[in-house]
Amino acid sequence: MINRINKYPYWLILTLLLSASFVIYSNNFTPMNMTMIFLLALAFLTLVHLLLDVIFKFRAPAYFEYHEDIFYDIQWNWDWNLKKEILHLKPTCPTCKSEVYYNFDTLLYKTEFVCEKCNKQLANINSSNRNFVVESVKKSIIRKLTKEDASF
């Protein structure tokens, strides 16, 4: 069980201490002065509180951590934007991590993925459509994320 600390009593006490110290420092004990100093201290601490909440609570969504996986025996790397779109999807060699080049053969109806550094063919996919493999990998990424993360 997680015990949560209610921060509002501490916030009010801090405001009262801050305003009392300013009243004592100003040496003016009129009710109008004390009220104004209390309201200014309350506004100042509220602003600080809101700024700290914004700074420390903004974190990248969990799906930002998922940026590489293996599909079709090829390692794929990509980036995300805040609209949950995949950016800069590129195939890399699982062995040497260099970028893989792919050749489209429309006559044989296939796409070959070749690593020039390792000098080997990594995959041979039955499709000559340039966008088929990339779109298929994007769909697989999103399908995998929706299975694992219900908030995606």
How much is the pLDDT for 58? Answer: 67
| pLDDT tens series, the chain, 152 aa | 334 455 667 777 878 788 888 878 888 788 888 888 888 888 888 888 788 777 777 666 777 888 899 888 889 999 988 788 899 999 998 888 888 888 777 677 788 888 888 888 787 787 767 678 888 899 999 999 888 766 55
Per-residue exposure over 68-94, b if at least 16 CB sit within 10 Å of its own CB, e if not: eeebbebbbebebeeeeebeeeebbbe
C-alpha 143/C-alpha 100 separation (Å) is 24
pTM listed for this prediction: 0.57
> Which pLDDT does position 2 carry in this prediction?
39
SS3 146: helix
Instruction: Give the pLDDT score at 16.
Output: 79
